[in-house]
Structure 1
Amino acid sequence: MLVLLLAYYITQSVQSEADPIPALLGRRDVAVWDGQNNQRSIQSIIWSCLSTIFLCTWVAVHPNVHFRPEKGDQRWVEKWLWDPLHEFFTYKLLLFVWALLLPEYILAWAVRQYVQAGVISRQVPRWTRTHGFFMVMGGFHLFRLPADAPSIPLPLESSEPSNFVIPSGRHLRRDEIPACPLQFEDFSVDILEIIVPTETELKDRGKSDALTKTIVLVQTSWFIIQCIARGTQHLPLTELEVITLAYAMLNFFIYGFWWDKPRNVECPIRLYKLSTAIHKESGEEVEEWGNNWVVCLMSKLVQYTVGGQDNFVALSQKRSLPMFWSGSIQKNHLGDAGLGPTILGSVFGALHCIVWSSEFPSRSELVLWRISCVSMIAVPLITTMFFTLMAISWRTDDGVPIWAQVIATTLWILLMLTGWLYVASRIATLVIAFSTLRALPTTAFVTVDWTTFIPHIY
């Protein structure tokens, strides 16, 4: 939405310079007046690109369940204004910025969740990957029943009582106390078979279905087809279209890995324990960051890069899932899940080279664009090599060779030195993509002649 507002003002400022004849004629829907109708305007270029980018950075993201406890006796200002704005700026807008500046990280997150959902679904009979996704995304939340609320324990297959209970009497839901999100290790298989809805019911909780996702992919595909068609007819692409093409490419993979994940689920399924029952962290013991702030900072940078930060999170102490939670993935899966997104990240940067030899309004914009292209290719490649060494080391029982440790350390230092350059390059290309709209070549306004692709009779 912010990008749409920016585009609107840029369109108004560049219209008179790039479109002098239509401006004189009082027409803003024509790009170049030559008596023909096979022209496009700056507005159509911007709208087509921004709508596609919006689909790839806002609609394509399938967030985790961001649990927010309900509040009683709220004032209308807090309920209808403050809470929605707080949710937008502290969660949804942050996800949008991540998808805009680091789309490869969103793809890596989707791959990790896809892998973990598959691991979970294979451990419970008749579970699908949708069930695994719902578990990974925080679909189950622990609540404490009031002390005087009657309940019965959930039965286990061994006939032993479990810590989870079912309310058996009347009580008010507002008196239930939210505790923490639950993960797969907190349950036994027979309890999951009792409490988990069917796949159809889980998908019904999402805010989009297969038809909606198909429409998004069709619109994205249409944009890619238009770009290819312009290339075959030797018509130039604007820098904004090249950026959009790169987003569209990654969007296919993000949607593919999240296809079975319910989107925008806001309310988790409630599971109950008595107010006196103790809930301990299940699964493997949570790792510690360390007391030394330098070591802690370096560890966080490494773990957030490879996606292993979830192993340091104690969900029993959290009110809601972390934004990029994927579950405690095994280390050998982390290396595999990171290789593909980093390679595609280099492809994402390489697509920006389509306009490497194009005419730019100024020499500085040309140089800055080329430097940005090189950095957007090089930094993901360095990350790919780092992931490769990490994957090899996690599969090696005899320890990591000294030479591999030296190379991994060198690559990590390079990442620390060049990571900021990648983010700066993403911002620079976005800014240049709009600034170059002030001086587009005339051929950039010519539309594709689709009759050359369709058999016809003259």
Structure 2
Amino acid sequence: MSSGNQSSTETRVAWVGGDHGRGTLDLLWSCISTLIICTWTVQHLDVIWPCYRGRQEVTLRRLKHTAFALLMPEYMNGVSIEQYCRAHTSTKKFRELKGFEEWTMTHGFFAAMNGFRAKCPNGELIALRIEELYWLIQQDLVKGMPVIRIKDEEDSANPSSAPEDGLISQEKKPDMPILSQENIRRSDKSDALTKVIACVQCGWFVFQIIARAVMDMEVSPLEIMTIAFTCLCFVTYLAWWKKPYDIDLSWTLEIEKNWQDWDVDMPQNRREELVRHKEGTGDLYLHAQTQFHSYITFALGACFGALHCIAWNLEYPSRAEQIGWQVCSLIITIWPLYMLFTTEPFIQKMMKVSKYFKILEHADSSQPLYFLHIALALSYGLARLFLIVEAFISLRSLPSGVYDTPQWTEYIPHI
């Protein structure tokens, strides 16, 4: 990958046709299509509650998450990894309960994505977390829990699957509904082939840029930025591979106690969340509760920023734009590291509630730390916006070598 000093005398071009190799449109299409995969199709949103039923509202909700993913893709990474861990852990825990021996990862993801909601005696509807659902089942406070099965058909002749007293009965009765893995998957609007195609396209893009670097060919800032998104996209797809996509299925459970009376370990900010979001919208901010999630987000955010530093010595239309890229790359790398190591003690507070996600609501505005966090958060957002804008406007003047095409790539099928 040539540096700016090496290509300072190279011819610069603004628009290149694609008649004899890759042109500007080819470069744009390759990067934009990959960015769409990384920010739009990678989204496995949580269960959509009735307030989002209209297609316009659903589309706006997805657009909002796409814009958020462009500014802070590591946040979605944190959500995906946390949901995977919750689903994986729940599989073992629930299978220890009588009547839940057929609980699967699919059921775990369904619960993690707000598939179950509780209707309390006072009429309040809230989205349940896996830990809360598990506790309610243990305490026999749930009415209307469906029979958990892997397949739709149930072998009623197998007496070994009958539950013992003391827990919610999962013994099949004629009028009891079944929530099977097959039923959840039938609501899934995606499939493995779609995800494989998306990963192949992203893989092809990464392979192409690596090949250009090995052959000492020029690349553009837009391609480097796309590489950063692609690397995080792989992590998200891997964590959400078994998560249902855009499902319409949800389950309302009758609970015998109001949530205010639950004797379950519920962090204070979770209680505040229940007051604000009684209908359980299932948006990304509902996951910003655990220290585990914040550590993942900040660690991956630092990696995301470091990937932008690969474009440190690329050729830019002006020296000011190159300095701007370098400064902003450092900001989006250093800010997550600062948050990772200073929000709370890194080791002692692991897996506990993060104070960062409550700082703007609870912090004393007279404290210098409050303004420091505000300034850092604003600088991070502005730096991300600059990098996105600069990646595209830099196409107005790039070294001509950016459009050189290795001949062998023309014979490899790709989108």
TM-score by length of 2: 0.72
Query: How far apart, in 2, do the equivalents of 1:364 and 1:102 lie?
Result: 25
Instruction: Specify whether residues 367 and 327 from structure 1 end up closer, same or farther in structure 2 by C-alpha distance, changes over 3 A only.
Output: closer
Residue 280 of structure 1 corresponds to: 259
8 Å Cα contact 1:136-1:327 kept in structure 2:
no
Residue 159 of structure 2 corresponds to: none
CA shift for structure 1 position 429:
0.6
Instruction: Specify whether residues 381 and 280 from structure 1 end up closer, same or farther in structure 2 by C-alpha distance, changes over 3 A only.
Output: closer
8 Å Cα contact 2:292-2:350 kept in structure 1:
no
Give the % identical residues: 28
8 Å Cα contact 1:226-1:448 kept in structure 2:
no
Instruction: Specify whether residues 65 and 361 from structure 1 end up closer, same or farther in structure 2 by C-alpha distance, changes over 3 A only.
Output: same
Q: Deviations over 1:194-219 (max 9, x none)?
A: 45622232222221112211111111
Instruction: Specify whether residues 114 and 443 from structure 1 end up closer, same or farther in structure 2 by C-alpha distance, changes over 3 A only.
Output: same
8 Å Cα contact 2:184-2:249 kept in structure 1:
no
For residues 400-411 of structure 1, what are the structure 2 equivalents within 5 Å? none
2:268 corresponds to 1:312: no
Query: How far apart, in 2, do the equivalents of 1:394 and 1:341 lie?
Result: 14
For 1:111, the aligned partner's letter is I
Residue 436 of structure 1 corresponds to: 394
For 2:14, the aligned partner's letter is A
For residues 90-239 of structure 1, what are the structure 2 equivalents within 5 Å? 91-125=61-95, 126-142=102-118, 179-184=125-130, 185-186=132-133, 187-188=136-137, 191=145, 193=148, 194=170, 197-239=179-221
Query: How far apart, in 2, do the equivalents of 1:256 and 1:311 lie?
Result: 31
Q: Deviations over 1:174-208 (max 9, x none)?
A: xxx99443444344268464456222322222211
Residue 264 of structure 1 corresponds to: 246
CA shift for structure 1 position 446:
0.6
8 Å Cα contact 2:117-2:128 kept in structure 1:
yes
Q: Deviations over 1:258-307 (max 9, x none)?
A: 1121111133134457xxx764354536555xxxxxxxxxxxxxxxxxxx
Query: How far apart, in 2, do the equivalents of 1:395 and 1:375 lie?
Result: 26
Instruction: Specify whether residues 284 and 143 from structure 1 end up closer, same or farther in structure 2 by C-alpha distance, changes over 3 A only.
Output: closer
Query: How far apart, in 2, do the equivalents of 1:199 and 1:346 lie?
Result: 37
Query: How far apart, in 2, do the equivalents of 1:393 and 1:209 lie?
Result: 39
Question: Structure 1: 5+ residue runs without aligned partners?
Answer: 1-16, 23-27, 31-36, 71-78, 145-162, 164-176, 289-308, 397-408
2:341 corresponds to 1:385: yes
2:31 corresponds to 1:85: no
Instruction: Specify whether residues 69 and 381 from structure 1 end up closer, same or farther in structure 2 by C-alpha distance, changes over 3 A only.
Output: closer
Q: Deviations over 1:349-382 (max 9, x none)?
A: 1121222112211122111111111101111111
- Which has more radius of gyration? 1
For 1:284, the aligned partner's letter is V
Instruction: Specify whether residues 196 and 101 from structure 1 end up closer, same or farther in structure 2 by C-alpha distance, changes over 3 A only.
Output: farther
Matched position secondary structure for 1:130: helix
Instruction: Specify whether residues 328 and 104 from structure 1 end up closer, same or farther in structure 2 by C-alpha distance, changes over 3 A only.
Output: closer
Matched position secondary structure for 1:392: coil
Query: How far apart, in 1, do the equivalents of 2:270 and 2:239 lie?
Result: 20
Query: How far apart, in 1, do the equivalents of 2:291 and 2:347 lie?
Result: 4
CA shift for structure 1 position 92:
1.5
CA shift for structure 1 position 53:
0.4
8 Å Cα contact 1:107-1:253 kept in structure 2:
yes
Instruction: Specify whether residues 378 and 197 from structure 1 end up closer, same or farther in structure 2 by C-alpha distance, changes over 3 A only.
Output: same
Query: How far apart, in 2, do the equivalents of 1:375 and 1:353 lie?
Result: 11
Instruction: Specify whether residues 140 and 441 from structure 1 end up closer, same or farther in structure 2 by C-alpha distance, changes over 3 A only.
Output: same
TM-score by length of 1: 0.66
8 Å Cα contact 1:376-1:425 kept in structure 2:
yes
Query: How far apart, in 2, do the equivalents of 1:94 and 1:310 lie?
Result: 23
2:311 corresponds to 1:355: yes
Q: CA-atom RMSD, angstroms?
A: 3.4
Report the more deviating stretch, 365-374 or 182-191.
182-191
2:23 corresponds to 1:41: yes
Query: Which structure would you say has the larger RCO, counting Cα contacts within 8 Å and 6 or more residues apart?
Result: 2
For 2:193, the aligned partner's letter is L
8 Å Cα contact 1:379-1:415 kept in structure 2:
no
Residue 304 of structure 1 corresponds to: none
Residue 76 of structure 1 corresponds to: none
Instruction: Specify whether residues 133 and 386 from structure 1 end up closer, same or farther in structure 2 by C-alpha distance, changes over 3 A only.
Output: farther
Report the more deviating stretch, 421-430 or 358-367.
358-367
CA shift for structure 1 position 241:
0.5
Residue 160 of structure 1 corresponds to: none
Q: Deviations over 1:70-123 (max 9, x none)?
A: 9xxxxxxxx9xxx4323332x212111111100011111112222222232222
Paired residues in the alignment total 342
Query: How far apart, in 2, do the equivalents of 1:94 and 1:412 lie?
Result: 27
